[in-house]
Chain A
């Protein structure tokens, strides 16, 4: 059997010596539309960043189709949280979407007509063509999220990691994003989406990854979306993990 799109093995990740993710073990099957849910501070964004290799794990590893992420960069597209960037930055919507092509271009090469075409098609898919030449400021939250999605589409990746694409968007955008996710799934792409709304989680995703510092459960939505597992995810039992994490940080960082 060929290697899965994402395989996470015994992954522990720390910030300032404080573990925020403990011993995560999971294999994401090809073509799955996975919702990552869990309370604030559960390590959802940290998990995505670790898969992308943006954070160095304390232990464990992540493989993309059997290879380290460094060899599979073009396979995986990443959408950071909207708040991570400065929306007053002086570039146009089209320029931002074109960034999705940079990974394919390599250093020093300029985007070609083919790249511009791909970027324009991506804009079309998210319904933002009319905004192509606008500056990125003056966009609504939903529009910002859509052009982030367009940039990801322009990457033409097989696997996508999305950090809260539904955060702070209007109803129209939410519908558009859901439609897009479903279309991407029908194209056999694998999608990992951080989601904060339990009400829609079971409706939008075919797999759920329940996370709170450690992996509570992963599986088809029908099997894991139940009261017992959700209580385990959101319940109070796991505060002991964050206390333990704090203790480890203090002992390791000495007097700091």
Chain B
């Protein structure tokens, strides 16, 4: 099939499957029920992982969460062997026990040896995962009856929301209720204990209890989410939505709500994508979450690189315009105060091609500082432009004087520093400079320091 034929067919297929997906959400029957269960399960898992994940990532336990995800596998196997069937409560209890055991082992290794956290996590993760794989393959080989009963245990390894039953949903929903309730009730204590453990202990809050609480909740959410994402990918929902929310907000409450929402959306989107493209729910959830993260990484107003880039660009442009103002001021103070300054004079003062100067001068209109007149050959400053020029020059020359007097720099060394700082001097610093230098009138080069305000205008 050529690409030209493939594309239209792909789109029509996608459209048809999208229709089927939403129809089955409203539909009845076994197939529809399976889809509904998958969506409910994935959304619940995303919501719960996202909310507790916020605390986990801030506590820097992301890798720990990944370790726990892998470490519950032998618990699934042991639960199955002991119960002799795929009884959901048995598998969940087994996983919970394995998770807590792995956590205890990790801690024991670091506190009783010189081995550090990351290595200790790596050791426990691989050990428990290995035991899990070994037990699963042993179950398949051991006895024919166990083996036939065991088919489907692989769902815990890789995750498969298509086999979410009502009982799984009940466990997921109960875990979600418990976890959200605990997070809400202990919100202030958990926040304090993660932010400042020493202080939290110092006011008598049981720091260890909160550490333990977080660990138990984490294990719980992993255990109930296993069937959706599998042991390997479960950490993704615990880390990526919170990381995304962290880039978007500076308030913990908002971060938790946002992260929970993103998690639920990723869950929904993951099931949909799998329905349409058959790429597996787990991978779809992870990829979608990552796309969200990338969007925040680029577009977050304060912490995204696009926002920071725009801010930087605005600053550069402002600096350029302000430099044009000071050039105009310098020309003005040399001769008669000109109402309109020739672009050619400005260009030679600044040592740049006149075409560049003209372009810059044209942009002065945007800040309301000036405009081009006389066939685009002269710059005319507005009142606010002249005022800004005065303030800039005053700051510049005060700073030069400050550098010379207080930092003992030679007069020919002070210009560059002042050229930079003049754009950033705030009113308070200026006042301090004025006091320190005793309101001087000339700068190190003998130039007049502009007055506090222009004559005829109120200060």
Q: Whose C-beta in chain B lies nearest to the C-beta of A52?
A: B202
Q: How far is the CA of A85 from the CA of B113 in the complex (A)?
A: 26
A130 to chain B, nearest CB (A): 12
A131 to chain B, nearest CB (A): 13
**B165-202 vs A: 1/0 string, CB under 8 Å?**
00000000000000000000110110110111011111
Query: Which B residues are in CB contact (< 8 Å) with A102?
Result: 188-189, 192, 200, 203, 205
Query: Which A residues are in CB contact (< 8 Å) with B141?
Result: none
B42 within 8 A of A: no
Q: Is the CB of B203 within 8 A of A108?
A: no
Q: Is the CB of A137 within 8 A of B195?
A: no
Q: How far is the CA of A77 from the CA of B198 in the complex (A)?
A: 12
Q: Is the CB of B251 within 8 A of A90?
A: yes
Q: Is the CB of B203 within 8 A of A92?
A: no
Q: Whose C-beta in chain A lies nearest to the C-beta of B196?
A: A85
Query: Which B residues are in CB contact (< 8 Å) with A73?
Result: 202-204
Q: How far is the CA of A80 from the CA of B207 in the complex (A)?
A: 15
**B187-230 vs A: 1/0 string, CB under 8 Å?**
01101101110111111110000000000000000000000000
B114 within 8 A of A: yes
Q: Is the CB of B250 within 8 A of A90?
A: yes
A144 to chain B, nearest CB (A): 12
Q: Is the CB of A70 within 8 A of B204?
A: yes
Q: Is the CB of B252 within 8 A of A90?
A: yes
Q: Is the CB of B199 within 8 A of A80?
A: yes
B64 within 8 A of A: no
Query: Which B residues are in CB contact (< 8 Å) with A14?
Result: none
Q: Is the CB of B192 within 8 A of A99?
A: yes
Query: Which A residues are in CB contact (< 8 Å) with B129?
Result: none
What are the 4 closest A-B residue pairs judged by CB atoms, nearest first? Answer: A103-B203, A73-B204, A135-B250, A78-B202
10 new A-B contacts at CB < 8 Å, known A70-B204, A78-B199, A90-B250: A77-B202, A91-B195, A96-B195, A99-B188, A99-B192, A107-B189, A108-B186, A151-B199, A155-B203, A256-B112
Could you list 10 examples of A-B contacts with CB < 8 Å?
Answer: A52-B202, A54-B198, A70-B204, A73-B202, A85-B196, A99-B195, A102-B189, A103-B205, A110-B188, A256-B112
Q: Which residues of B contact A (CB under 8 A)?
A: 58, 112-114, 185-186, 188-189, 191-192, 194-196, 198-205, 246, 249-252, 254-255
